[in-house]
């Protein structure tokens, strides 16, 4: 690897500074806001990724389908900048530029006492020996930052982010990758990577400031938070981009909330959702795969009613689209197995009549004997091999298939047309974008790129994003048409003139999916370990900018949960933004089995009570969802989000905040009937109360509270 070699001269261009490099590249630092800056390395031959689909600062306008030009500054209110030949400064943030070697030093401008940066005000600094390195052989680029350690080389800084990461929230000392994979049965403590490509990091720095960094690339990235050490370079951390562009956004704040809000404004915020989507939802994948699936689901509706389970939605697993005969396991998107579902529209009306809205699983790959395969091949609708021009065919759901190219208009139109005809017209409200990681292995795979092809190693998460957008916009158009018709049919009823918020779901994606979809941690495995560590993964996703998240309640994969584990899992997820009981299991006889609220009669009453708690707090939950959209606040968050000056809140914990008012303390240990919980410090005169009992608890202390099997420990601020 070679360090970037810069000329000594720095050219000032408005709110930017440009450093020419020896190889003809340009290194640019530009302020986009008082506490927001951008750093780009533009190769002499131009950007490898000339477009972005993540950056969306214009609140009322989405990114063009073809992408936003990487050089665009539209939507940014460029601040007044004080510039010298070696520094740029707003009233909040200052950067000093060194060219020999090339490195940047970022400081709190409020603490500046002279034209030189104060050491105590340093927020972040590139590694002193070499901040930026490239490798011609592989095309990778690295950005190195100094890492501050204390006595005994104990890390001083804390690192978070990267989306769906496992293990403790603080990522210090770990090396992790961003790149979507279908990670069924992943290790909940050590597994990596999972489903998302989310190259955003959040750090509490040695100065006490908070720092956000987003690397705007679709290429696979590796982040090292102090795992690597080299005696010649001191202590450092780095981000490595695999054959993509170095284009990163740096944002600072006094609290994590300030940084996260800036980050969300940068990528277009969070979609509003219809109220029904915040309720409890159920899937029954085993039932949908049964030979008499429609009859099984009809009986399921009756059981929901007889048990008195509060429920707002049912999610069709992909079993409704399975083949028949010897090929019965395979999924054929936008088809109905009429042998199993002889009259699905009647079934769907029964779901609706019993208070359940409907969501249907859809997949972006056509098996090579799909009825539409040949026509899509002729239309150039698949990811292809750059050398042969033929569709890439790889394993997919017990068969071989080709992935749709969502940078091709023909594919988008086909997708939206069939979503309407085979899903929405059947009385189903929402498409659930699943198995959409695009983990294509062929080195020569390319997508159309709306006319300018993109190699798939720089486009995998883009297809997850655009697939989700295609679904979202198809639902939007469908609703608009339905409202026009309703106005014509019922002109005297003004209630039909208000559109419902659009909601969809995606398992995979990159920054931008939160503009369209809810997501979750994927195909988890049933175990006490998973229950414990999934809590951290959900919180990590949340403070990374995916606010509408959850987990498969009871575990998707693996053994059937015991009654105790099942109940504790329902309790732990009852106050997550997404609460869906989704599973694919086998019983002792090898038959298909689904987690359902009444699966263990001895705890059914308490399971239903935990679901009822969600509905009891529904007005507050809806308020949290609204604030997620309007104020860019996570719905659930680590306690340090609300109490960043309380050091106890940074310790590893099973607790989390629901909005700013409730602290949730799930029980995640088998046999536990008490729970030790830290209740953070509050302003003078405020205390914590037990949610049900009203018992007063002193703030800023640990408490051991009763946690009988039927109870979720829950606390409210006075």
pLDDT, one tens digit per residue, over 513-571 is 999 999 999 999 999 999 999 999 999 999 999 999 999 999 999 999 999 999 999 99
> In angstroms, rounded to a whole number, what is the distance separating the alpha carbons of residues 61 and 75?
9
How many Cα neighbours within 13 Å face the side chain of 233? Answer: 20
- H or E element in which residue 179 lies: none
DSSP per position, 337-397: -TTT-S-HHHHHHHHHHTT-EEEEEE-SEEETT-TTHHHHHHTT-B-EETTT-PBP-EEET
DSSP per position, 139-152: --EEEEEE--B-GG
Percentage of residues of the chain with pLDDT beyond 90: 89
DSSP per position, 651-697: S--S-EEETTTEEE----STT--EEEEEE---STT--EEETTT--EE
Q: Where are the domains of the chain?
A: 2-162+199-266, 323-337+358-518, 625-717
pLDDT band, very low/low/confident/very high, at 494 (cuts 50, 70, 90)? low
* Tokens read off for 120: 């105590």
Three-state SS at 473: helix
Task: Give the count of beta carbons closer than 10 Å to the beta carbon of residue 116.
Answer: 11
The stretch 678-701 carries a mean pLDDT of 96
How many Cα neighbours within 13 Å face the side chain of 279? Answer: 18
The stretch 649-658 carries a mean pLDDT of 98
> In angstroms, rounded to a whole number, what is the distance separating the alpha carbons of residues 672 and 472?
43
The stretch 383-406 carries a mean pLDDT of 96
Q: Where are any strands of DSSP class E within 122-256?
A: 122-125, 132-134, 141-146, 158-161, 175-178, 200-204, 210-215, 221-224, 236-241, 247-253
Helices (H) and strands (E) in the chain, counts: 12, 45
- H or E element in which residue 7 lies: none
C-alpha distances in angstroms, 357 versus 344, 427, 473, 482, 679? 14, 9, 19, 16, 38
> In angstroms, rounded to a whole number, what is the distance separating the alpha carbons of residues 368 and 377?
10
The stretch 597-604 carries a mean pLDDT of 98
The stretch 638-667 carries a mean pLDDT of 98
pLDDT band, very low/low/confident/very high, at 589 (cuts 50, 70, 90)? confident
> In angstroms, rounded to a whole number, what is the distance separating the alpha carbons of residues 403 and 415?
12
Closest C-alpha to 310, from 581, 679, 22 = 581
Phi and psi at residue 616, to the nearest 5°: -65, -35
Specify the pLDDT at position 326.
44
SS3 helix, strand, coil % of the chain, rounded to 5? 25, 25, 45
pLDDT band, very low/low/confident/very high, at 11 (cuts 50, 70, 90)? very high
> In angstroms, rounded to a whole number, what is the distance separating the alpha carbons of residues 395 and 659?
43
Task: Give the count of beta carbons closer than 10 Å to the beta carbon of residue 698.
Answer: 11
C-alpha distances in angstroms, 261 versus 251, 498, 630, 639? 10, 29, 10, 17
> In angstroms, rounded to a whole number, what is the distance separating the alpha carbons of residues 663 and 279?
20
The stretch 617-638 carries a mean pLDDT of 98
Three-state SS at 212: strand
Task: Give the count of beta carbons closer than 10 Å to the beta carbon of residue 380.
Answer: 14
Q: For the ranges 79-83, 167-171, 458-462, 497-501, which has the lowest average pLDDT?
A: 497-501
Phi and psi at residue 430, to the nearest 5°: -140, 140
Specify the pLDDT at position 610.
98
DSSP per position, 237-305: EEEEESSS--EEEEEEESSHHHHHHHHHHHTT------GGGGS-EEE-HHHHTSTTHHHHHHHHHHHHH
Three-state SS at 578: strand
Specify the pLDDT at position 88.
95
Residue pLDDT, tens place only, 312-353: 999 999 999 987 544 567 899 999 999 999 999 999 999 999
> In angstroms, rounded to a whole number, what is the distance separating the alpha carbons of residues 663 and 678?
10
The stretch 97-112 carries a mean pLDDT of 94
pLDDT band, very low/low/confident/very high, at 113 (cuts 50, 70, 90)? low
The mean pLDDT of the chain is 95
The CATH number corresponding to 625-717 among 2.60.40.1180, 3.40.50.2300, 3.40.50.920, 3.40.50.720 equals 2.60.40.1180
Torsion of CA 101, 102, 108, 114, to 10 degrees: 60
C-alpha distances in angstroms, 13 versus 17, 25, 82, 440? 6, 17, 12, 42
For 438: left if phi > 0, alpha if psi spans -120 to 50, otherwise beta; the answer is left
Please determine whether the domains at 2-162+199-266 and 625-717 fall in the same fold group of CATH: yes
Closest C-alpha to 377, from 386, 389, 394 = 389
The DSSP bridge partners found for residue 676 are: 704
Domain 2-162+199-266 in CATH: superfamily? glycosyl hydrolase (family 31) (2.60.40.1760)
Specify the pLDDT at position 329.
78
Specify the pLDDT at position 114.
55
Three-state SS at 17: strand
Q: How many residues does the chain have?
A: 718
CATH class for the region spanning 323-337+358-518: alpha beta
Burial class (CB in 10 A: 0-12, 13-18, 19+), 298: middle
For residue 250, pLDDT beyond 60: yes
Residue pLDDT, tens place only, 18-40: 999 999 999 999 999 999 999 99
Specify the pLDDT at position 119.
67
């Amino acid at each position: 690897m070679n360090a970037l070699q810069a000329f000594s001269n720095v050219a000032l261009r408005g709110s930017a500074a440009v450093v020419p490099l020896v190889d003809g590249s340009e290194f640019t630092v530009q302020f986009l806001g008082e506490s927001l800056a951008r750093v780009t390395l533009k190769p002499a031959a131009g950007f490898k990724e000339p477009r972005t689909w993540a950056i969306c600062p214009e609140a009322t306008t989405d990114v063009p389908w073809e992408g936003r030009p990487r050089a665009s500054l539209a939507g940014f209110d460029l601040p007044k900048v004080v510039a010298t030949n070696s520094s740029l400064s707003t009233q909040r943030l200052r950067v000093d530029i060194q060219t020999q070697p090339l490195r940047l030093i970022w400081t709190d401008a409020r603490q500046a006492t002279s034209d030189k940066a104060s050491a105590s005000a340093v927020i972040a600094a590139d590694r002193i020996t070499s901040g930026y390195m490239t490798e011609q052989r592989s095309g990778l680029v690295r950005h190195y930052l100094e890492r501050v350690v204390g006595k005994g080389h104990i890390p001083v800084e804390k690192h978070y982010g990267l989306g769906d990461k496992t293990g403790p929230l603080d990522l210090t000392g770990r090396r992790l990758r961003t790149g979507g994979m279908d990670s069924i049965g992943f290790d909940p403590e050590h597994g990596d990577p999972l489903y998302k490509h989310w190259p955003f990091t959040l750090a509490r720095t040695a100065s006490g400031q908070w720092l956000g960094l987003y690397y705007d690339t679709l290429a696979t990235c590796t982040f090292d938070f102090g795992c690597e050490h080299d005696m010649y370079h001191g202590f450092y951390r780095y981000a490595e981009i695999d054959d993509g562009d170095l284009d990163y956004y740096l944002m600072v704040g006094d609290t994590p909330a300030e940084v996260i809000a800036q980050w969300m404004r940068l990528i277009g915020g969070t979609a509003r959702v219809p109220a029904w989507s915040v309720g409890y939802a159920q899937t029954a994948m085993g039932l949908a795969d049964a030979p008499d699936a429609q009859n099984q689901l009809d009986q399921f509706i009756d059981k929901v009613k007889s048990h008195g389970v509060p429920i707002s939605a049912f999610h069709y697993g992909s079993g409704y689209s399975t083949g028949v005969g010897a090929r019965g396991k395979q999924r054929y998107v936008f088809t109905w197995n009429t042998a199993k579902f002889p009259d699905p529209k009647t079934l769907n009306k029964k779901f609706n009549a019993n208070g359940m809205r409907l969501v249907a699983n859809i997949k972006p790959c056509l098996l090579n004997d799909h009825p539409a395969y040949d026509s899509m091949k002729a239309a150039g609708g698949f990811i292809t091999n750059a050398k042969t021009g033929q569709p890439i065919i790889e394993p997919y759901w017990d068969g071989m298939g080709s992935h749709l190219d969502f940078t091709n208009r023909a594919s988008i139109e086909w997708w939206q047309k069939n979503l309407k005809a085979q899903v929405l017209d059947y009385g189903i409200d929402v498409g659930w974008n699943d198995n959409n990681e695009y983990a294509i292995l062929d080195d020569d795979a390319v997508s159309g790129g709306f006319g300018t092809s993109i190699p798939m190693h720089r486009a995998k998460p883009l297809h997850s994003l655009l697939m989700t957008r295609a679904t979202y916009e198809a639902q939007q158009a469908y609703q608009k048409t339905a409202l026009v018709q309703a106005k014509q049919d019922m002109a005297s009823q003004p209630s039909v003139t208000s559109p419902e918020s659009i909601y969809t779901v995606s398992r995979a994606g990159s920054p931008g999916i939160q503009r369209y979809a809810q997501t979750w941690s994927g195909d988890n495995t049933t175990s006490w370990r998973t229950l414990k560590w999934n809590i951290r993964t959900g919180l990590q996703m949340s403070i990374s900018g995916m606010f509408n998240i959850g987990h498969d309640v009871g575990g998707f994969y693996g053994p059937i949960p015991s009654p105790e584990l099942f109940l504790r899992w329902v309790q732990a997820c009852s106050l997550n933004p997404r609460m869906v009981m989704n599973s694919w299991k086998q019983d002792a006889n090898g038959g298909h089995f689904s987690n359902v609220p009444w699966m263990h009669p001895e705890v059914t009453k308490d399971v239903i009570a935990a679901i009822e708690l969600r509905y009891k707090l529904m007005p507050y939950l809806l308020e949290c969802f609204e604030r997620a959209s309007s104020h860019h606040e996570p719905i659930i968050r680590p306690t340090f989000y609300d109490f960043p000056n309380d050091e106890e809140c940074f310790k590893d914990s099973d607790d989390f905040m629901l909005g700013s008012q409730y602290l949730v303390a799930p029980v995640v240990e088998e046999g536990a009937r008490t729970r030790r919980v830290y209740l953070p410090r509050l302003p003078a005169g405020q205390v914590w109360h037990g949610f049900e009992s009203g018992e007063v608890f002193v703030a800023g202390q640990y408490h051991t509270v009763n946690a009988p099997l039927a109870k979720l420990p829950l606390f409210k601020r006075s």
